Each structure stands twice: as structure tokens, then as C-alpha cells.
Amino acid sequence: MTDTANLDTLESDVLEQIGATTDEAGLDAVRVAAIGKKGSVSLLMRGLGKMTPKERQVMGPALNGLKTRLGDAITARKEALESAALDAALVSERVDVSLPVRPTPTGSLHPITQVMEELAVIFADMGFAVAEGTDVEDDFHNFTALNFPEGHPARDTQDTFFMKPDADGNRKVLRTHTSPVQIRTMMSEEPPIRIIAPGRVYRCDWDQTHTPMFHQVEGLVIDKETHMGHLKGTLLDFLAAFFETDKVEARFRPHHFPFTEPSAEMDVRYERVGQAVKVGSGTEWMEILGCGMVHPNVIRNCGLDPDVYQGFAFGMGVDRLAMLKYGAPDLRDFFNSDKRWLAHYGFSPLLQANMATGLS
Ligand code: DAH
């Protein structure tokens, strides 16, 4: 074929085929048939060698031009097909954002975790740091340094769980209270000291208001001019913040603890309304914590001079506070790991975050 008019026909034929393609595979078939290695245009180009120089002068540029134009048309069609495919996908794969999400099971915070966090936040506002001890304690930290005399019945009144004796005959204990953290802190830190120590404690006990493992928060302040007014003010501020009202009424009753002198127990006024307990009104008093001025012997046992340093301490049952504030009637339910109970009494971790950042 040496006639450029035929080339025009070929060109319009192929362009028509290109325009009629509806997908990439069809377009590629047209490309191969026209400008592929064995395509019609390529075969014509191969024929150039057999032409006279004059013919070649005409047909060479004509075929090259044709090949370029067809290539361009194929590229343009390819892009058009691709963008049409994308548009179609966007329409058919549209995400319906108005569809309600499927419910996913969410966990909740145990009331004790919640109350522990609340206590840490409230006392942090008053300048208290959090200190920790160990659940397995030695006799020295749990009793002796806290001024429990050797062989004193007080060691038994706490219903202590004893471990098997060590090689040297000493018996470690599961700590019966968080007070040993006072000793650990005073022995490792320089006053002024202002700590709370939240944690698990253990006593051999089991009824509606006692479980063998429960939780306490200990508080300790040691400084040079600390007195009972500070103790009282701190605890009253704490009560108002914890129960979220200024109306909580508290009373201090003289008591005895070996590690404080004078010692007191603090009660809050409450009444029972059905199953629930209401704090701040009524005629009943509930004991919620023990407290007092740290005994000079305890200060001395920790290597500090009681003529220079004095302070106050307190210890409270977290579980009882949780029962009081959130109204669960039986302490044993706290530790039954019943998911339905947790779903009812548990707390959203998101509310928790709000509380910790002070936005609730
Ligand atoms: N450790 C005491 C108990 O478990 C509670 C307590 C009372 C702690 C008075 C104190 C305190 O720090 O000063 O019964």
C-alpha cells in the first residue's frame, strides 16, 4: 500500500475502534492490532524497505505520523476509561456514613479502681505524691517499726496471714495494712514528706463487710511544724471533695493505734435510704478511717529525730468508701468478677479521663 488516502481510511477505522472500546482489555486488543509488532501499521512500515526512495519519502513520514497519532489516541482513551472506572467505583463503593455502628463490647472500670483514682486526684491537689510498698512484708515494716511491741496481741488482732518461715526462721506476712509504706518512705526520703499509699491489704476475714483481701489508702505528712489542726483540715477537705458536698458532717472519736499518739477514728454522718446509704444526713455514724499524730517511736525507728520532726497519718478502707459513695450493699460482690455486676457498677474509662483532667 503506497497510497496515503488508504492510510487516512485506516486511521479513521482504527480511531473509530478506539472510540468504541469500553475497557482496557478491548483497547489493548485494538492497540496490538494497529501498532503492535505485527499490527497493520507496523506491517506497512516493514514494507518501506521495498519502496522506491521517492515513495518512501512520502510514506515514511505519513506512517510515522499515523503511528504517533494512533498511539496518542490510545493513551487518551486509556485515561478516559480509567477515570470513568474510578467514577463508577466511587459511586458503587460509596460508604454510607449515616449507617449506625455495630455495638462493640466495652470494658468498664471497677468501682475500686475508680475510687482509688479519685483519691489520688483529690490528694494530688493537696500536694500528696503516691508511694507504693510490697504486698508481702516483713515483720519489721508491718509491725515492729510501727511500734507494735514484740509479742503484743495487736499482731493477732489483725488476723495476719503468715508465710512459711524463711531459712533464717523469719516469717514474712501478707501486709495487714498500708502503714508499712510510712516506714519505707520515712527511711528512704528526707522530710518534708507528703504521701498517700494506695494498695491491697490482707486479713483472715469473710462476711458482708469483710473480705480476706481489701484495699486501703494510707496518708502520711512529716514536717517540722505539723499539728492536729492540719490533720483535721486535710481530712475534712478530703471528705468534701470525695462526697462532692460541703455538707458532710464528720466527728473524731478518740481511739488507740500503736503508731499514732493521740489517735482517733473519723466517722461520717449517714442514713440508710432503702438499700442505699446517704452521706451528710441522718442520725447514724459510720467509721471511715483511722488517724492520729505519728508516734515519736515510729519517727525514731525510721532514723529521724522526733524533737525536730512530727506529723500525722491516716488510713482508710477504699472498699468501704466505694460502698458508701456508689451504694453496693455487699462487699463480697466487689470480688466475684460477675460481669453483670461490673456492667452495673463499673465506670466508663472516658469519664475517668475527664475526672483526672478536672473537666467532669
Ligand atoms: N493501719 C490502720 C488499720 O489498718 C489504719 C490506720 C489508722 C492508719 C491510723 C494510719 C493511722 O496511718 O494513723 O487499721
pLDDT in tens, 314-324: 999 999 888 88
Cβ atoms of 294 and 313 within 8 Å: the answer is yes
pLDDT of 298 strictly over 90 = yes
**Is the same domain home to 149 and 228?**
yes
Does 341 fall in a domain? Answer: yes
The pTM of the full predicted model, rounded to 2 decimals, is: 0.70
Of 92, 122, 157, the one marking the end of a domain is 92
pLDDT of 261 strictly over 90 = yes
Does 354 fall in a domain? Answer: no
**Is the same domain home to 117 and 224?**
yes
Out of 3-7, 66-70, 155-159, 342-346, give the one with best mean pLDDT.
Answer: 66-70
Does 358 fall in a domain? Answer: no
Residue nearest to atom 12 of ligand 1 (CA): 314
Does 141 fall in a domain? Answer: yes
Distance 41 CA to ligand 1 centre (A): 100
DSSP, collapsed to helix, strand or coil, labels residue 241 as: helix
The distance from CA 87 to its chain's CA centroid, rounded to whole angstroms, is 42
As a whole number, the mean pLDDT across the chain is 89
The distance from CA 103 to its chain's CA centroid, rounded to whole angstroms, is 20
**Is the same domain home to 157 and 243?**
yes
Cβ atoms of 249 and 269 within 8 Å: the answer is yes
Rounded distance between C-alpha atoms, residue 216 and residue 290, angstroms? 11
Distance 166 CA to ligand 1 centre (A): 27
Domain extent, residue 161, equals: 111-345
Cβ atoms of 323 and 331 within 8 Å: the answer is yes
Does 352 fall in a domain? Answer: no
The three-state DSSP-derived secondary structure of 273-322 is ECCEEEECCCCEEEEEEEEEEECHHHHHHCCCCCCCCEEEEEEEEHHHHH
Q: How many residues does the chain have?
A: 360
Rounded distance between C-alpha atoms, residue 139 and residue 175, angstroms? 9
Distance 254 CA to ligand 1 centre (A): 13
pLDDT of 349 strictly over 50 = yes
202-252 pLDDT per residue, tens? 998 888 778 899 999 999 999 999 999 999 999 999 999 999 888 889 999
Nearest to 277 by CA among 328, 333, 232: 328
Pocket probe for ligand 1: among 213, 259, 293, 310, the residue whose CB has the most ligand atoms within 8 Å is 259
**Is the same domain home to 84 and 168?**
no
Does 101 fall in a domain? Answer: no
Cβ atoms of 224 and 245 within 8 Å: the answer is no
Give the phi and the psi of residue 244 in degrees, each rounded to 5.
55, 40
Rounded distance between C-alpha atoms, residue 360 and residue 354, angstroms? 5
Domain count, the chain: 2
Protein residues whose CB sits closer than 6 Å to any atom of ligand 1: 177, 179, 218, 257, 260, 290-292, 313-315
DSSP, collapsed to helix, strand or coil, labels residue 207 as: strand
**Is the same domain home to 261 and 180?**
yes
Residues paired with residue 260 on neighbouring β-strands, in sequence order: 257, 294
Pocket probe for ligand 1: among 142, 160, 177, the residue whose CB has the most ligand atoms within 8 Å is 177
pLDDT of 306 strictly over 60 = yes
State the DSSP string of 245-275. -TT--EEEEEEEETTEEEEEEEEEEEEEETT
**Is the same domain home to 189 and 322?**
yes
Does 64 fall in a domain? Answer: yes
pLDDT of 191 strictly over 80 = yes
**Is the same domain home to 297 and 227?**
yes
**Is the same domain home to 57 and 138?**
no
**Is the same domain home to 232 and 281?**
yes
Rounded distance between C-alpha atoms, residue 298 and residue 309, angstroms? 11
Distance 19 CA to ligand 1 centre (A): 90
Give the CATH number of the domain where residue 157 resides. 3.30.930.10
**Is the same domain home to 290 and 234?**
yes
pLDDT of 112 strictly over 60 = yes
Residue nearest to atom 3 of ligand 1 (CA): 177
Distance 333 CA to ligand 1 centre (A): 25
Instruction: Report the pLDDT value the prediction gives residue 351, as an integer from 0 to 100.
Output: 59
**Is the same domain home to 230 and 334?**
yes
Residue nearest to atom 5 of ligand 1 (CA): 315
Of 65, 92, 119, the one marking the end of a domain is 92
Residue with cell 470480688: 335
Instruction: Report the pLDDT value the prediction gives residue 299, as an integer from 0 to 100.
Output: 98
Of 36, 62, 92, the one marking the end of a domain is 92
Does 153 fall in a domain? Answer: yes
Nearest to 333 by CA among 325, 321, 345: 345
**Is the same domain home to 119 and 12?**
no
Please report, rounded to a whole number, the percentage of residues in the chain having pLDDT higher than 90: 59
Which residues, 6 or more positions from 250, have their beta carbon under 8 angstroms from its beta carbon?
A: 235, 236, 239, 266, 267, 268, 269
